[in-house]
Structure 1
Amino acid sequence: MTHLLPKNKVQTTIQRAFSSLVFGNDPAALTHFRGRWSPWLFNTPLHVVHQQAEQVYTFVLTDAETQQELYGFFHLFVQNQQGVSPLRASFGSFEVAEVVSHADFSVWLNSIESFAVSQGIKSLSIRHYPSCYHPARSSFIKRGLVRHGFQLSQSSINHYISVTSQPFETALHASERRRLRKCLQADFRFEEWVSPSAEQVYQFIAHNRQRLGYSLSFREEQLRLWLTVFPEIFRVFCVKNGEEIASLGLTVRVGKNVLYHFCPADNLAYRQYSPSVLLTKGLYEFSQQEGVTILDLGISVDAAGQPKTSLARFKRNLGAQECEKWQFERKIGISTKV
């Protein structure tokens, strides 16, 4: 049942009064407030609903006077007395307006933790978005969580390409330029797969992953849901040789300025051509047309989740830069503030 739980009013040190509200199983409560920014896709009410949690709490930081302005929010999914953010997505974490100070954030964290304790939640686990998405806010949130007693349980290197007015080839390593020329000379073409078949896309990716010894983090049913519910957000692009797919990429428009190349996969019969270079070029040029400034290539790990240096090197050769992607953990009731 959807319900509004008791409020905790917060008085800040910047002469601004905030209220902390919490909503049970009602992520759409966010739409009742005037937001100063657009949430990342994985934190939107529609995506939160489709993460299919048994219990999710949405914490809102709003003004105490009118309770109409949105200054921060956080979705906490609960399973087996464990609180996680996200449940089924690449990231969750906090989104906080720039007017919120560290003192404000700290008091808000106190109210969230107090509520979690009252619900019998024993731990909190938060996976943050790549720091390149919003470097200043990422540093702010990281510092606030660590000061509050969260442990930085994982820090992964994430690669991304800054999309500018310059051609894709400008930052491309010489070895990848040769591979790109080879693809173009073979008349491979880049195109979007319009109205893609979830079954065919999934089978292509799963076959590639199986041959490389990887497992997939999602099921075919999930892919079908993404393509059906978010057709303009989850899109599939291909490099083709005639009608045969040489390389495929599942992309996610995470935000207005961010395109996440979520799940690249190659037809290994074309490995000598490295068609993923042409795929990346196509995504870069698509991003230029769409006003995207960050083409997120994700982290580089092997089947065991360990850093994969060859994949990281390939992304650098594509012109990618590095940022960090963090995961934070905290046991409830243990005081480790610094």
Structure 2
Amino acid sequence: MAYQLISTYNFSFIPTLEFNFTRFFFNEPEHLRQQGGEEVYTFYWKNLENQLLEARFSVIILAGKGFSPLRATFGGIEFSKVLPKESLLTFIQSAFNTLPKLESVQITFCPENYLSMNQRKAIDFCFEKLSFKHCVVDQNFEIAVTDLSFYETVNSSRHKQLLRKSLKNAFLFQQEKELDFALIHAFITRSRVRKNRKMTMTLVDLKQSFALFPDNFQIFSVIHEKKMIAVAVTVKITNEILYTFYLADDEEYLKFSPTIYLISGIYEFCQRNNFKLLDLGIATEKGILNEGLAQFKQRLGAKKSLKKSFFVQF
């Protein structure tokens, strides 16, 4: 089967052909434009027989190095479930041959549970052939959204008890409609400082994300007696995947673990809106496991999947 490489520079051309693969929000041109960098190369793999685009890959260049992504949770190569691994390899080789001379390229893929088994095997096959090295392998956790209630997905009696306690104390879950970004950003920042995690978005970044992508970003909260005690910022990755970008809680309410009730509400939101996967994010820091966080997510019914970053130095 014959394929054609389509190469674009700084979004000078965006093909209008149909995509034969799942497209992730972080790899869309609109989001790539917000990630910064000096130059952006995007490559498409066109099937000449059916005129469909079978793969897409963007590289952002900064200071002589390539990144996919530069500023996002993941980037990587999107491709059809039926694309042969040999054809995927040819696409990646062709893309790298088209890039300008770079010092290195780093690629972070989506969590493996986003992909089919054949896609996972194809990625490993290609990067082994290309002698790319794993620079980081993170552990990600996702909850499959089914007809079961969230209470039924939880596999910890203690977490179920905390859910009941939240209901007994009349905690209120809600989607924030009238957004007080300064209040929300400050709340998340305090929570992350307490956990020794840096804040990755400025207040301006947060406001801009909601202004540019109102259909992709949402904020949910838990309220007790008019006080905000837990907050989540979520991102719609696809129509079937919702990602919890930030989870934060109030230190005074830790004995209630309001994050559990918060995730319960988001899970029900996913059920109502036909999402299939609720991504709770990683439980690692540069590949080093936070066992307590991993156990917390697993007890909520989340399953582990690997999130791989590859690195090549020229």
Q: 1:89-108 residue pairs with structure 2 within 5 A? A: 89-108=72-91
Distance in 1, matches of 2:49 and 2:55, equals 16
Q: 1:42-61 residue pairs with structure 2 within 5 A? A: 42-61=26-45
- Which residue in the other structure is 2:9 paired with? 24
Distance in 1, matches of 2:56 and 2:63, equals 23
TM-score normalised per structure 2:
0.95
Aligned to 1:70, what secondary structure does the other structure show? strand
Are positions 1:277 and 2:256 aligned together?
no
> For residues 151-183 of structure 1, what are the alpha-carbon distances to aligned partners after superposition, in whole Å with 9 as ceiling and x for unaligned?
111111111111100111112110001111111
> For residues 181-200 of structure 1, what are the alpha-carbon distances to aligned partners after superposition, in whole Å with 9 as ceiling and x for unaligned?
11111100100011312222
Give the AA of the match of 1:169: Y
The 1:135/1:37 distance shift into structure 2, 3 A limit, reads closer
Shift of 1:212: 2.1
Q: Contact between 1:27 and 1:58, CA under 8 Å: does it hold in 2? A: no
Distance in 2, matches of 1:27 and 1:130, equals 30
- Which residue in the other structure is 1:138 paired with? 120
Shift of 1:53: 2.7
Aligned to 1:155, what secondary structure does the other structure show? strand
Are positions 1:150 and 2:132 aligned together?
yes
Distance in 1, matches of 2:93 and 2:188, equals 43
Give the AA of the match of 2:229: A
Aligned to 1:88, what secondary structure does the other structure show? coil
Q: Contact between 1:40 and 1:255, CA under 8 Å: does it hold in 2? A: yes
Distance in 2, matches of 1:53 and 1:33, equals 27
Aligned to 2:58, what secondary structure does the other structure show? strand
Shift of 1:146: 2.2
Distance in 2, matches of 1:293 and 1:65, equals 32
- Which residue in the other structure is 2:292 paired with? 310
- Which residue in the other structure is 2:69 paired with? 86
- Which residue in the other structure is 2:46 paired with? 62
Structure 2: give runs of 5+ residues left out of the alignment. none
How many residues of Structure 1 are paired with residues of Structure 2 in the alignment? 312
Aligned to 1:34, what secondary structure does the other structure show? coil
Q: Contact between 2:231 and 2:247, CA under 8 Å: does it hold in 1? A: yes
Distance in 1, matches of 2:64 and 2:88, equals 24
Q: Contact between 2:139 and 2:284, CA under 8 Å: does it hold in 1? A: no
Distance in 2, matches of 1:65 and 1:289, equals 39
Shift of 1:201: 1.4
> For residues 292-333 of structure 1, what are the alpha-carbon distances to aligned partners after superposition, in whole Å with 9 as ceiling and x for unaligned?
11110111136x87311111111111111111100001123x
Shift of 1:138: 3.0
Q: Contact between 1:28 and 1:45, CA under 8 Å: does it hold in 2? A: no
- Compare 254-263 and 143-152 and name the one that shifted more: 143-152
Q: Contact between 2:56 and 2:77, CA under 8 Å: does it hold in 1? A: yes
* Structure with greater Cα Rg: 1
- Which residue in the other structure is 1:336 paired with? none
- Compare 18-27 and 184-193 and name the one that shifted more: 18-27
TM-score normalised per structure 1:
0.88
Q: Contact between 2:21 and 2:54, CA under 8 Å: does it hold in 1? A: no
- Compare 143-152 and 310-319 and name the one that shifted more: 143-152
Distance in 1, matches of 2:12 and 2:200, equals 24
> For residues 255-310 of structure 1, what are the alpha-carbon distances to aligned partners after superposition, in whole Å with 9 as ceiling and x for unaligned?
111010111000111001100110011011100001111110111136x8731111
> For residues 212-251 of structure 1, what are the alpha-carbon distances to aligned partners after superposition, in whole Å with 9 as ceiling and x for unaligned?
2221122222111111111121100001002111111000
Aligned to 1:29, what secondary structure does the other structure show? coil
- Compare 245-254 and 107-116 and name the one that shifted more: 107-116
Q: Contact between 2:65 and 2:105, CA under 8 Å: does it hold in 1? A: yes
Q: What is the identity percentage for the equivalent residue pairs of Structure 1 and Structure 2?
A: 27
Q: Contact between 1:27 and 1:45, CA under 8 Å: does it hold in 2? A: no
Distance in 1, matches of 2:289 and 2:82, equals 37
Q: Contact between 2:26 and 2:75, CA under 8 Å: does it hold in 1? A: yes
Distance in 2, matches of 1:38 and 1:315, equals 26
Structure 1: give runs of 5+ residues left out of the alignment. 1-15, 333-338
Give the AA of the match of 2:181: A
The 1:227/1:272 distance shift into structure 2, 3 A limit, reads same
Distance in 1, matches of 2:280 and 2:125, equals 25
Distance in 1, matches of 2:147 and 2:313, equals 46
Are positions 1:123 and 2:108 aligned together?
no
